[in-house]
Chain A
């Protein structure tokens, strides 16, 4: 592992200010991303108490469910949010027919023109919106589920797509501010603590050497930036939530309005802080010059979005509960390949990212002593001699690469060469690199006396040994061996239910939490006192 991130963290800790991890910005930031902050009722899987969202940093829209355990109240809030989310997303569903594919294998396809961008404060919010809320809305409208407007069903589909796309390394469609900032800055605290957007921003904003006071204050505010509840705020909310619930059952609209206002007043400020902080994170990122490969990755995002848009042009897309084995294997391969590509693209785009490989001893760097572009050799496998320019470097440190290692030029990854010879002279270590490809007839080469580097870094590039319709052994389910003790055979996972045919065996548990009337009237007495166990937080 490279020590560079640790060194940067030490630098940040000693200077009491975050330092840059990258020289460039490696994610796309669109002009008006849709920022969402959400507060979920503690102890419930998907019962949002409030959303604050919008594209305007100064004017987010607040919707609340003063008693999210009541189905009508909860869905009123969810529906309002979903309607606005769909309003934002639907213009991006516009497609246009274009010729795609490689030359000679071109075919017309409806492609999306642009993709939406949704930004949330932290990873927890992203998971909540995608895999919790999105999942809970996904099957509404099918079977005996709670009736909801079509926009809510659309939102369920979009959130489900976003949840899956968020796993694609390097994507910019569904961003978490902490992850975004964490990629580009290093603080003097742990990555665990960096998940708090308030302290992360405080580290970046802190004046060098001004102490940790501002950072501690940001942490002590204990503002809930995500779906994870803030017990203090919950304690203040509780009486209003209960009173609102009673007023709903009594049909007392005046009291309802009163407590709705009280809940709104309590959550508005904390959510607004998180909303502004998320926009602030974007404002910090925007001026950083964009890395060269960002455009390419955004285009890939738009291409993927286009596939979703095509499904949307027919009907509301449905998603399976879990991937069946073949799809799971293929997605895993896709994601790991994207991860590998991302690491390499970022390194060639950005000297600071490349420095991590340099610190690991995977680079040979130094000043160019001589470039011999008159050298001709018979390359392996060839019969005729061809141009093999030789670059001689005076290495700045003892090279850790070996003779024969394949390298690429850090300035232009098209240029590749093998280390021919490493010699120790009076002047220091001299490294000769034979340029084997990408020099464009000697046109693309380092200049003499230039300080530059070559890196041993390339994608594995292998293909999956399995055919496109073959489930690799890693994903085959052995029927005789129950998974984690549970027998899955016979369930829909084993049966491989595809997206089109979703079976809702039991719709009761799709509708979400709701208190039975008798439970509301007589909640069980709380036995024991709340958290008195030292050192417990789950």
Chain B
């Protein structure tokens, strides 16, 4: 059994189940999808904009994005008539970093609680 563990600054951020691992590897096993992940990591863009780079239909590109989304590698955001594709790793990065910082706030609070209790 393979477990995929995503660590962030040596703190475990996410753990993928077998099914999720399958989805991630399946998602990345396709060259077009790897290319899509690469492009949106540089710059978020719409599915139409992505479709310009590949010699396939818009629907085909849309399907690739759906596979990536199911593997939680990208997220989609509707903006007007467009669907903007974002790299999910980036969102996880930022969120994880901020939650990490918040954990520090609680560490400090716990330390102050201990000080209050020690005063008894």
Instruction: Decide whether A and B assemble into one complex.
Output: no
Where the two chains meet, the residues of B that have a C-beta atom closer than 8 Å to any C-beta of A are: none
Where the two chains meet, the residues of A that have a C-beta atom closer than 8 Å to any C-beta of B are: none
